[in-house]
Amino acid sequence: MKITNFISKKSVALDVHPSTKQEAIDMLIDLLMTAGAVKDKEVVRRDVLSREAQGSTGLYDGLATPHAQDTAVKKTAISIITVPEGVNFDSVDNKPARLIVLFAAPLKAATAEMTEMGRLAVLLMDSEFKESLIRAKSVDEVIKLIDAKESERSKSEVPEVTGDSKIIAVTACPTGISSSFMARESLKRCAEKMGINVRVEVYGAAGVYHALTDEEIQNADFVIIAASKKVPISRFNGKKMIQTAVGTAIRKPEQLFERIKAGQAQVFHAKEDDEPISKKIIKKIKSIFS
């Protein structure tokens, strides 16, 4: 399965000129409608705007990755627009968005499909690749660029190494389609530059990726929680922890590692509310029959 399997030529528009963020989002959804991936534009629009209200998906240096996952999406699909002069997207760096990619998925999208969308989100973190898409002169060129970049990445990708990491992390975003994967990539890249070994678990829309093992948690000294939604953290009881929004891990990962070096991580003491619902139910059943 390739990323471009989810990108119809009908869902890409180059050198467009939306005047507002809402207009850009409407363009992206219209492209998906034209490609036959969406059955109700207004439902998808509400979903996208609801996600934006939780925190803008306008990221940095001209990139924005809005997304939606709901029953109005008929099939997993991606739409793309390039806006060379840029449009205000409430981006975290206050720069206009020049490449806007909408990720859309049904409520019960296959794990493999969600993984591929997360893969594209990670590829877009490469500034040179992103700029090449913005400069593209045709839809065919966009497709070729994405195929080539995915192939290049697959050949150079280092397998996930589990083991004795003193720093572990968890990333999560409200929808779990792009930001959580981008945060993982950002943390791993930064850690490599700083000579740090880190293991990162991702809460994606289709479940948990690169799950931390009990042994890895036990061996770790520090935990970074970069999440913009609630994730189960009782398993990290007694560990020194830093908690922040997922966007911080994307934009400023070095600050998180520097805070650990500076001794700013605080020992985490789990409360009952930190436990997943499943564990609470099991405890309740045990108490009834004990």
From the list 119, 102, 128, the residue with the least C-alpha distance to 12 is 102
Strand partners for 99: 63, 82
In sequence order, what are the beta bridge partners of 81? 13, 100
What 3-state class would DSSP assign to 244?
strand
CA distances, 107 to each of 27, 69, 126, 145, 208 (Å): 22, 6, 29, 29, 16
* Length of the chain counted residue by residue: 290
CB 144 within 8 A of CB 29: no
How, if at all, do strands 12-13 and 77-87 pair? parallel
Give the residue from 216, 161, 219, 212 showing the smallest Cα distance to 191. Answer: 161
Distance (Å, whole) CA 110 – CA 112: 5
- Our measurement of the distance from residue 128's CA atom to the centroid of its chain's CA atoms, rounded to an integer in Å, reads 20
The residues carrying an active-site annotation are 67, 173
